[in-house]
A and B are shown apart, each in its own frame.
Chain A
Amino acid sequence: MFIITCPFCGERDQSEFSAGGEAHIIRPKQPTELSDDEWADFLFMRKNIKGVQFERWNHAHGCRKWFNVIRDTSNDKIHAVYKMGEKPPSD
């Protein structure tokens, strides 16, 4: 049960949030022009890294805002939290 710092609300218990999978997968603007393989790649393929992973989280039982989290999946350490549309912190 980790603590997540919502960029809008501050430090909250994990139980207030829901996870939304890998971050920075942008929905193609012109899906109809993609091949089956390209579309399947967007639709299904996820990295599932053991280690530092970029993830989407939603403050579901709070402000309902989506944001990005950099989390080490091997030990749940959260390295950074940043808003949607923002670039990940560089370090």
Chain B
Amino acid sequence: MSENFRSIETKFLDKTNRISFKYNGKKYYGYKGDTLASALLSNGVHLIGRSFKYHRPRGIMTCGSEEPNAIVQIGGNGSFTEPNVRATEQEIYEGLEASSQNCWPSVEFDIGGINNFISPVIPSGFYYKTFMWPKKFWYSLYEPAIRMSAGLGKSPTQPDPELYDHNHLHCDVLVVGGGISGIIAASISADNGNNTVLIDDKNSLGGSSIYQNNENFKIDDEISSIWLDKKIKELKNKKNLTIKRRTSLAAFHSYNYLLARENLADHKSLDKRLNKLRQRLWKIRAKKVILATGAIERPLIFNNNDRPGVMLANSVKKYIDYYGVRCGDKNIIFTNNDSAYETAISLNKKGINVSIVDIRNNSSSILVKNAKDAGIKIYWNNTVVNTKGYRKIKSIQIMEMSKDGTNVVGKKTNLPCDNLSISGGWTPMVHLFTQSGGKLKFRDSDQIFLPNTEMSDQISVGSCNGDFELDDVIKNTVSECKNFISTSVTDYDSLKVSCPKQKENKNIWLLPNDKPLGKTKPFLDFQNDSTAKDIKLAMREGFKSIEHVKRYTTTGMGTDQGKLANMHALGIISETAGVKMGSLGTTTFRPPYTPLTFGTIVGRNVGTFFDITRKTPIHEWHKNHKAEFENVGQWKRAWYYPKDGESMHQAVQRESKAARESAGILDASTLGKIDIKGTDASEFLNRVYTNAWSKLGIGKCRYGLMLNEDGMVYDDGVTTRLDENHYVMTTTTGGAANVLSKLEDYLQTEWPELDVWLTSVTDHYATASVCGPNSKNILKKLFPILEFNDGNFPHMSFKNTELDGINCRIMRISFTGEHSYEINIESKYGKSLWEKCMDAGKEFNITPYGTETMHLLRAEKGFIIVGQDTDGTMTPIDLQMDWIVSKKKYDFIGKRSLYRSDTMREDRKQLVGLLTDNPNEILEEGAQIVQDEKKQPIEMLGHVTSSYFSPNLNRSIALAVVKNGKNLKGQKLLVPMKDKTINVTVSDFIFFDSKNERLNA
């Protein structure tokens, strides 16, 4: 039975609601309102985990989001498990299971603890220095070992079963932080008719003032916490005010755009969480922002300052005054300022043994006088030089300091203790302020960075703005808020506030020791185990910038992002380098302020909602006919239709043969379609395509190639002239949106004088492409009134007609090299059109084919696919498509670039065909092409862009881009693969029907 450390009654917990939870498999009890940390402390548990690098035992240090040590794994091994949760923030619930991290076999006895003893040989940067040699050890030994020790907690291995949400919020004033200044600010804002939102990351409002029961702190003759409690109750009745508790501000972007994570379920037991939202991400757009984010207490940096039982003084005060938990029976407070005396007085009043070690010579503060009057022993001008106790602190050694504070003198005094509360002053939380683009200034008197100039409509109030004394906090918060929201009268104008004033400042970033620095372990970053000597080592090795020192030593790079001790790192760098802290700057504060779960970041966009899926109107038919689908951009396209257990290869061979021998049908609905209208439509096409358009007759189609201004092929497709001033352009499936916006760009910005109107009609039409020698017979059956002879309906022409009374556009165009028709019909009739084609084609064994067969058939014909055979570095000349580039046209997009010295080079990579010497060998797409394997380094001539086995040629074929390929026809080249080298011969890239006889067959 563990000892009960909850000796004091507290109104902040619900004592009628006792909660059981498990920690490292053992059952404990706490009360509703407890955090895991306070509940564990009430059971006398201090040892929580092992540090990252040295595996030193670590305990609870703080009571909030800045906690570096007490991070735990929540949940068992199931899908609910979550690593790196701060015990100081996790509220307990019935059935909570938590366990220590980064230790094996247990937190009490951890094998990794050996690192602590070998720490002299693993300083900062030892990775870079140690694992260099021998080289072969890297894969076999070093990397696996490093991987095993990397990370703290364990990620869940199953999908997250919980629900997350995103929501937008617009308000006049957002107040961040529910401490005393935030409450006053929210109240003033709401009273003046502003739609106000107040958010706080804790489960209850009030900050540290809500448990301030020291009689020296009074507002209107009441103890400050009593006054504040009343004000919080008043808030609940304010009309314009929304309060969000358990909501942590993650990011503050420009233009007052903020992200906050609201925790809806992490404090509830699992059975109450099922099918309910766990967390919600608020996307907040606020007209004005008031930051009241408070300050975090600083630790002191001395030898072995990391043992379980070493805690921040104000946190010890919160545990006793808020949670009713004493963190020790023999407390020592180690401080450089007056605020820690509040903790001492609090403990003393409750009859708990406490003494104080103060690095100052004296202080005239009323708090110090109270402590003296209470008989608390104070060791002035002393510093802690060592601590003892492995799993929990047992004693400290103190020494007197020399006059200048740089050394220690005299003899060591041993003081037994079971808790050491440290306080090194306060650091304003300016994270959010700087995230929004604000610039800081440095205040020398108490060595803090403060908000200076802000980028958006915002103010910082309270201790995050450098006011640490109650009277200043209230006075300045009220006056700043009045200014900010333009009001002259508030309820807080004539408050009477009395409080102790801070006296005698003294700050030493790294406290002196009797031993040389190298023999001590003064921790700065408790989570990442970086010490003051690591900082000095980095500087000795030439790192000067704070950003570099941070990365080399990993100071401030843990899950706590160095909230506690980044200031000390800066201080030590500044002292060592002799540079003023103000001019040294800080590391960049990046969002999120506290870690966000992936669930919160993605919200509802999981599973089928991860990305948009576009389906053609004929999709259902493909699905019913067992098509395999391929993703093309967001489109799902039928890839191939396997029959009776066919493999993909078998299906594609069958489809390809059928399309050439009788008839094939392809769903081409995904091709981009842009409707072009206007009196200057022809001129517009002249300017955007490489070939000439003015003379294209009405009812005729033409293939066009579109370049970027740099001369590289951008898109291609067939455009049809429907009428004098009316065209419809087809684009590649993936390029549709980009082509439209590119055309709009030229139209609106370069050629506003042109009368041209562009409309995307991709989704308006469904397209069935029927090809093969029997395609004409099928079309004849479907459209009996149309004349299909070459005179009336030749290749590259268009007919407007009807199918059962529904308008159809038929283009006789071909991407397969076969006699072929593309039938376009309003989308909703797409499936019906397809089925009619299938019916009419039945007697000709019409075979549906997918994108793979389409790719194969066009490769046989040497037709390029933009994006597969081109990659943004290919000109039409490189593609041997000189025929499509008009020499007569004065200008078109990209024309001038075709005459740059680089684009005119003879030895550019050019499109060629490749034939393997062994006709059954199929090259891999992307394979490299070389001439000489022996010459080192091997010269890479190009790569394979398309490769198939052609059933119509009964051999493999490939397209490739090869340096100087135009002049290499007939030449033997090599394609080296992992296990063999394939011999190939450069060929023409049109493999099939090079005279285009089949088009008119």
Q: Smallest CB–CB gap between B761 and chain A, Å?
A: 15
CB distance from B712 to the nearest CB of A (A): 11
Q: Select which of B709, B745, B899 is within 8 A of A20 by beta carbon.
A: B745
Q: Are B255 and A2 in contact (CB under 8 A)?
A: yes
When the two chains form their complex, are residues B748 and A65 in contact, meaning their CB atoms are under 8 A apart?
A: yes
One of B748, B750, B752, B896 near A32 (C-beta < 8 A):
B896
Report yes or no: A75 in contact with B455, Cβ–Cβ below 8 A. yes
Q: Mark A8-32, 1 if CB is under 8 A from B, else 0.
A: 0000010000101000001110111
The distance in angstroms between the C-alpha atoms of A26 and B709, with both chains bound, is 13
Instruction: Let me know if B897 is at the binding interface, CB within 8 A.
Output: yes
State whether A32 touches B455 (Cβ < 8 A): no
Most B CB within 10 A of own CB, among A1, A13, A77, A85: A1
Give B259's nearest chain A residue, CB to CB. A1
**Which residues does A use to contact B, with CB under 8 Å?**
1-3, 13, 18, 20, 26-28, 30-32, 34, 36, 39-40, 43, 56, 58, 60, 64-66, 75-77, 84-85
Q: Which residues of A contact B752 (CB under 8 A)?
A: 84-85
Q: Does B925 contact A (CB under 8 A)?
A: no
Top 3 A-B pairs, shortest CB-CB distance: A31-B896, A1-B257, A2-B255
Interface residue B890 (Cβ < 8 Å from any Cβ of A): yes
Say yes or no: B253 contacts A66, CB within 8 Å.
no
Question: In the complex, are the beta carbons of A39 and B896 less than 8 A apart?
Answer: yes
**Contact between chains at B900 and A39 (CB < 8 Å):** yes
Question: How many residues does chain B have at the interface if contact means C-beta atoms less than 8 Å apart?
Answer: 24
On chain B, the residues within 8 Å of A39 by CB distance are 896-897, 900
**Bound CA span A75–B454, Å:** 10
Q: Is the CB of B255 within 8 A of A76?
A: yes
Chain A residues in 8 Å Cβ range of B901 = 36
Q: Which residue, A3, A27, A28, A30, has most C-beta atoms of chain B within 10 A?
A: A27
Q: In the bound complex, what is the Cα–Cα distance between A56 and B744 (angstroms)? A: 13
Residue of A nearest to B254 (CB): A76
Question: Is B891 among interface residues, defined by CB-CB distance under 8 A?
Answer: yes
From B283, which residue of chain A is reached at the shortest CB distance?
A: A1
Contact across chains for A1 and B744 when beta carbons are under 8 A apart: no
Which residue of the partner chain A has the closest CB to B892? A31
> For B257, what are the chain A residues with a Cβ–Cβ distance below 8 Å?
1-2
Whether A66 contacts B745 by the Cβ 8 Å rule is yes
A to B CB contacts below 8 Å, 25 in the list: A1-B253, A1-B255, A1-B257, A2-B255, A2-B257, A3-B255, A18-B741, A28-B896, A31-B895, A32-B895, A32-B896, A32-B899, A34-B896, A39-B896, A39-B900, A43-B709, A58-B741, A58-B745, A65-B748, A66-B745, A66-B748, A75-B437, A75-B455, A76-B437, A84-B752
Q: Does B628 contact A (CB under 8 A)?
A: no
Q: Whose C-beta in chain A lies nearest to the C-beta of B890? A: A32
**In whole angstroms, how far apart are the Cα atoms of A50 and B895 in the complex?**
33
In the assembled complex, the Cα of A58 lies from the Cα of B748 at a distance in Å of: 10
Taken residue by residue from 225 to 256, chain B's Cβ proximity to chain A (1 for < 8 Å, 0 otherwise) reads as 00000000000000000000000000001110
A84 close to B896 (CB less than 8 A)? no
Contacts of A76 in B (CB 8 A): 254-255, 437, 455
Closest to B893 in A: A27
Residues from chain A with Cβ under 8 Å of B900 in the complex: 36, 39-40
Residues of the A chain whose Cβ atoms lie less than 8 Å from the Cβ of B750: 26-27
Known: A75-B254, A84-B749. A60 touches B741 (CB 8 A): yes
In B735-753, the 8 Å CB interface with A consists of 741, 744-745, 748-750, 752
Among residues 899 to 915 in chain B, which have CB atoms less than 8 Å away from a CB atom of chain A? 899-901
Kindly state whether residue B514 has any CB partner on chain A within 8 Å.
Answer: no
Residues of A within 8 A of B890 (CB): 32
B710 within 8 A of A: yes
CB neighbours (8 Å) of B891 from chain A are: 30-32
Closest approach, in angstroms, between the C-beta of A26 and any C-beta of chain B?
8
Complex Cα spacing A28 to B752, Å = 15
Q: How far is the CA of A36 from the CA of B899 in the complex (A)?
A: 8
A32 surroundings in chain B (CB, below 8 A): 890-891, 895-896, 899
Q: How far is the CA of A60 from the CA of B455 in the complex (A)?
A: 27
Quick check: A84 and B437 within 8 Å, CB to CB?
no
Instruction: Compute how far the CA of A55 lies from the CA of B208 in the bound complex, rounded to whole angstroms.
Output: 48
Would A64 and B254 be within 8 Å (CB), given that A32-B891, A32-B896 are in contact? no
Min CB gap A76→B, angstroms? 5
Least CB distance from A61 to B in Å reads: 11
CA of A28 to CA of B896 in the docked complex: distance in angstroms?
Answer: 10
* A20 → B minimal CB distance (Å): 7
Query: Which partner residue on chain A sits nearest B439 by CB separation?
Result: A75
CA distance A28 to B890 in the complex (A): 13
A36 to B255, CA, bound (A): 43
Q: Which residue of B lies closest to A67 (CB)?
A: B748
Q: List residues of chain B with CB within 8 A of the CB of A18.
A: 741
Known: A1-B253, A3-B255, A84-B752. A43 touches B745 (CB 8 A): no
Tell me the bound Cα distance from A64 to B437 in angstroms. 30
Given the complex, which residues of B lie within 8 Å of A1, measured CB to CB? 253-255, 257
**Chain A residues closer than 8 Å to B255, beta-carbon distance:** 1-3, 76
Interface centre among B748, B891, B896, B899 (most CB of A within 10 A): B896
- In chain B, positions 874-893 with a C-beta closer than 8 Å to chain A are 890-891
List, in ascending order, chain A residues with CB within 8 A of B749's CB.
Answer: 56, 66, 84
B741 to chain A: which residues have CB within 8 Å? 18, 58, 60, 64
Quick one: closest A residue to B255, CB to CB? A2
Please give, as numbers and ranges, the residues of chain B lying within 8 Å of A2 by CB-CB distance: 254-255, 257
The chain B residue with its CB closest to the CB of A40 is: B900
Contacts of B895 in A (CB 8 A): 31-32
* Distance A62 CA – B194 CA, assembled complex (angstroms): 30
Least CB distance from B652 to A in Å reads: 38
